């Protein structure tokens, strides 16, 4: 049994950096694209044959007919959302069932997990996506969660009922959710797909592209706790979620947007308010792909970026959405100071990405973080992409 080389795509900010597009562009070189953490809180927006498609759980390699898509043990699956997503992709003419494989350790999001987000106060305080992510990971770590391996257990329906009742009894004043028919439809779909041992399955291949979701600053340990998601969005998540040792890790692509956004609550040192923020939200389409919420917007933060690069061992950067900034007279970048009193360097704006001012902006980032920009996304479409390294 060999050991694949695992190249990785990670978000370096608070998510929504454009990882889906980077994965789609790189995927053609790999037999497998694998998710290793997260669940339907993710929303990877891609343009397929001119049509906007948002992927929540299925890896962004799915548009390449020769690429297998794998969901590894560190991830969560909501059967209802998953079935809808498969249906939506099939309606686009994709044949995908034979290209999907799921780790037996992937854990299920049940209707009760989504319900818990509605009735308990933490989710509102943090501003979660309300997809049941926190409660499902909490069950995983409390060792009462339901991995896909349990789908083969004849007692599975009983287990679902018991876990539902376990949580519902803490909220006697609110009636617990019914388990809808669509849940069981999703379960049947999951039963029909290969559910494999992640350790062995991964080792059949020579190369894997690991697709991160959310971003480094949302990591459960390394992020801005408690304003984080409940998984390891960082390189640590790749090892645990795909059952590979550190020697397997090859190129680590760090994806960053030319400015910063954040959905939900929590600290944001470079946040911009007022008309400029509204302009960025509008021009950059900064509205959550999963929840439809407007994203908070701010300048690029090199202090946070250096941290994310060091933490993940990033070898090359992919810079996205610099085209959104075209037309601004001035672009700022945080270079230091404290989180409450950040200091900035100011750049003259650019009209196109061929302008000298933009090149200077890129050179400055590269010098400051000592990692090259190896790819540039120049617009939303697949062909708006330049690869240098």
Catalytic residues: 16, 44
Of 99 and 295, which CB lies nearer to ligand IMP in the complex structure?
295
> Could you tell me which stretch among 105-113, 222-230, 242-250, 343-351 binds ligand IMP (CB under 6 A)?
222-230
C-alpha 332/C-alpha 326 separation (Å) is 13
Of 130 and 306, which CB lies nearer to ligand IMP in the complex structure?
130
Of 233 and 378, which CB lies nearer to ligand IMP in the complex structure?
233
Which residues 250-309 are close enough to bind ligand IMP by CB under 6 A? 263-264
Q: Site for ligand IMP (CB under 6 A): which residue of 42, 106, 249, 258?
A: 42
C-alpha 2/C-alpha 15 separation (Å) is 33
Residue number with the shortest CB distance to ligand IMP? 264
**Least distance to ligand IMP, CB of residue 213, Å:** 6
> Could you tell me which stretch among 13-21, 22-30, 275-283, 373-381 binds ligand IMP (CB under 6 A)?
13-21
**Least distance to ligand IMP, CB of residue 266, Å:** 6
> Could you tell me which stretch among 21-29, 68-76, 164-172, 226-234 binds ligand IMP (CB under 6 A)?
226-234
Residues that bind ligand IMP (rule: CB under 6 A) add up to a total of 21
Which residues 199-218 are close enough to bind ligand IMP by CB under 6 A? 213-214, 218
Cβ–Cβ under 8 Å, residues 224 and 339:
no
By CB under 6 A, is residue 378 in contact with ligand IMP? no
C-alpha 208/C-alpha 315 separation (Å) is 17
Nearest to 22 by CA among 7, 36, 37: 7
C-alpha 42/C-alpha 37 separation (Å) is 10
By CB under 6 A, is residue 16 in contact with ligand IMP? yes
By CB under 6 A, is residue 43 in contact with ligand IMP? yes
By CB under 6 A, is residue 57 in contact with ligand IMP? no
**Least distance to ligand IMP, CB of residue 361, Å:** 24
The token pair at 300 is 């690029």
Q: Site for ligand IMP (CB under 6 A): which residue of 4, 15, 111, 177?
A: 15
**Least distance to ligand IMP, CB of residue 210, Å:** 16
Residue with tokens 């920009």: 373
By CB under 6 A, is residue 20 in contact with ligand IMP? no
Which residues 72-131 are close enough to bind ligand IMP by CB under 6 A? 126-129, 131
Of 168 and 294, which CB lies nearer to ligand IMP in the complex structure?
294
Q: What are phi and psi of 223, to 5 degrees?
A: -90, -170
**Least distance to ligand IMP, CB of residue 301, Å:** 16
Sorted by sequence, the CB contacts under 8 Å of residue 79 that are 6+ apart come out as 108, 109, 183, 185, 186, 187, 189, 190
Sorted by sequence, the CB contacts under 8 Å of residue 9 that are 6+ apart come out as 19, 22, 23, 26, 209, 210, 211, 212, 253, 255, 318
Residue 142: is it exposed, middle or buried by C-beta count within 10 angstroms (0-12/13-18/19+)? exposed
C-alpha 147/C-alpha 343 separation (Å) is 47
C-alpha 202/C-alpha 36 separation (Å) is 12
Cβ–Cβ under 8 Å, residues 389 and 316:
yes
HEC string of 260-277 equals EEECCCCCCCCECCCHHH
Binding characters for ligand IMP, 135-174, by CB under 6 A (x = yes)? ----------------------------------------
C-alpha 352/C-alpha 324 separation (Å) is 10
By CB under 6 A, is residue 315 in contact with ligand IMP? no
Chain positions contacting ligand IMP, by CB under 6 A: 14-16, 41-43, 126-129, 131, 133-134, 213-214, 218, 227, 229-230, 263-264
């Amino acid at each position: 049994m060999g050991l694949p080389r695992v190249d990785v795509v990670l978000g370096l900010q608070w998510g929504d950096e454009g990882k889906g597009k980077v994965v789609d562009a790189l995927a053609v070189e790999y037999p497998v694209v694998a998710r290793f953490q997260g669940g339907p809180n993710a929303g990877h927006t891609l343009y397929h044959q001119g049509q906007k498609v948002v992927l929540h759980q299925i890896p962004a390699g799915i548009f390449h007919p020769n690429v297998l898509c794998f969901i590894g043990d560190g991830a969560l699956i909501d059967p209802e959302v998953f079935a809808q997503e498969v249906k939506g992709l099939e309606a686009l003419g994709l044949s995908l069932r034979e290209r999907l494989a799921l780790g037996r350790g992937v854990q299920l999001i049940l209707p009760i997990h989504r319900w818990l987000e509605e009735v308990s106060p933490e989710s509102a305080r943090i501003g979660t996506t309300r997809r049941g992510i926190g409660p499902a990971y909490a069950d995983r770590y409390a060792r009462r969660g339901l991995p896909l391996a349990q789908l083969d257990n004849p007692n599975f329906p009983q287990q679902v009922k018991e876990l539902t009742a376990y949580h519902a009894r803490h909220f006697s004043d609110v009636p617990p959710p019914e388990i809808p028919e669509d849940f069981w439809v999703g379960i049947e779909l999951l039963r029909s797909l290969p559910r494999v041992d992640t350790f062995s399955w991964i080792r059949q291949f020579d190369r894997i592209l690991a697709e991160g979701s959310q971003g480094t600053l949302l990591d459960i340990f390394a992020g801005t706790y408690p304003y984080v998601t409940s998984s390891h969005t960082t390189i640590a998540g790749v090892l645990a979620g795909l059952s590979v040792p550190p020697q397997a890790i090859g190129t680590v692509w760090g994806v960053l947007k030319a400015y910063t956004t954040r959905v939900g609550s929590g600290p944001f040192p470079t946040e911009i308010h007022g008309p400029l923020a509204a302009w960025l939200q509008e021009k950059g389409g900064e509205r959550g792909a999963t929840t439809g919420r407007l994203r908070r917007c701010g300048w690029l933060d090199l202090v946070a970026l250096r941290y994310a690069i060091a933490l993940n061992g990033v070898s090359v950067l992919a810079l996205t959405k610099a085209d959104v900034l075209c037309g601004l007279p001035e672009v700022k970048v945080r270079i230091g100071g404290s989180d409450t009193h950040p200091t900035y360097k100011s750049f003259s704006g650019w009209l196109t990405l061929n302008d000298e001012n933009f090149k200077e902006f890129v050179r400055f980032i590269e010098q400051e973080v000592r990692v090259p920009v190896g790819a540039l996304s120049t617009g939303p479409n697949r062909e708006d992409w330049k690869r240098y390294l």
